[in-house]
Structure 1
Amino acid sequence: YKRQTLVDAFETATIPASEFTHAAHIAVALSYLQSRTPAQALEHMRERIRAFAAHHGVGNLYHETLTIFWMRLLDHVARTYDVDPSRRRSPRRPKADLPLWRRTNLIVARWGSSRPVEAHYSADVIASNAAREKWVPPDRLPMPF
């Protein structure tokens, strides 16, 4: 999917649930963060994940702690992480100068695993009903942002 096509497919729930991967979540989240404030992007992501889950009959899909964690992490990474490894020896330019598709691909390649969650949360905490229903701060490593 191209970025806007993916966002549209997610928002209209026309993408099959099996194709809405973790990488697709990241791409949509980055798109929302580019066009909204972090608070607006988070709220929109919440609404759209819940609507997507309801449309596809996946009642237990939404997880509040994971949604907040990833939106905070992606906002931080998109604003601060030098996503272009080819420029390590050249002067850095603002990350926003890179096209969104390029930043998205580079961020997914670097941050698209579950390792960030595992670094901050124990399995018991992240699997809890409390974490699914409301924000639970990390129990392993605090978030510095």
Structure 2
Amino acid sequence: MTDPDFLAAFEDGSLPEDLFHHRDHVHAAWLLLREETPAAALGRFAAALKRFAAAKGKTRLYHETITWAYLLLINERMERLSRDRVWEEFAASNPDLLTWRPSVLERYYTPEALGSDLARRVFLLPDR
């Protein structure tokens, strides 16, 4: 699947669930950040992720703090490495972003903060 096809299927909710794991979340965010400002990419990504979850009957899986934190970390890493890198280069340079457990977010958040209902609903600033 090409990157444009992948992104379109993610955004319209038609991407099969078995083709959308943590690494694919990061890839989708990276693609959007190549096209948009961070604020616009965040809006598109969050809306698409909510649609995707709803299409799969898993609306409770959406987590605002995790979504925002990862997208902002991806954006920072893109700036540090150069935005003209291809996905494979970005992925190879950032293995910590591609691993779900242990999560890179553990550097920034306590388990209590990320596990809270508030963190699920709104973006929380890091508490570490």
Larger Rg: 1
Q: Counterpart in 2 of 1:8? A: 8
TM-score, scaled to structure 2: 0.88
Range with greater deviation from structure 2 (12-21 or 128-137): 12-21
- 3-state SS of 1:137 partner: coil
Whole-angstrom distance in 2 between the partners of 1:76 and 1:104: 12
Q: Closer, same or farther in 2 for the Cα pair 1:109/1:35, shift >3 Å?
A: same
Q: State the identity %.
A: 28
Consecutive unaligned residues of structure 1, counting only runs of 5 or more, are: 82-94, 141-145
Q: Please give the root-mean-square deviation of Cα atoms over the aligned residues, in Å.
A: 1.7
1:117 aligns with 2:76: no
Change (3 A) 1:109 1:13: same
Counterparts of 1:53 and 1:107, CA distance in 2: 29
Residue number in structure 1 paired with 2:89: 103
Report the secondary structure of 1:73's partner residue.
Answer: helix
Q: Which residue of 2 is the match for residue 135 of structure 1?
A: 123
How far is the alpha carbon of 1:129 from its aligned partner? 0.3
* Distance in 1 between residues matched to 2:98 and 2:88, nearest whole Å: 14
Q: 2: distance between equivalents of 1:43 and 1:3?
A: 19
Question: Partner residue of 1:79?
Answer: 79
* Gaps in structure 2 of 5+ consecutive residues: none
Q: Is the 2:7–2:28 Cα contact (8 Å) retained in structure 1? A: yes
The secondary structure found in structure 1 opposite 2:60 is: coil
Which of structure 1's runs of 4+ aligned residues deviate more than 6 A?
A: none
- SS at structure 2 position matched to 1:106: helix
* Larger relative helix fraction: 2
1:104/1:9 CA distance change after superposition, 3 Å: farther
User: For residue 43 of structure 1, what is the aligned residue in structure 2?
Assistant: 43
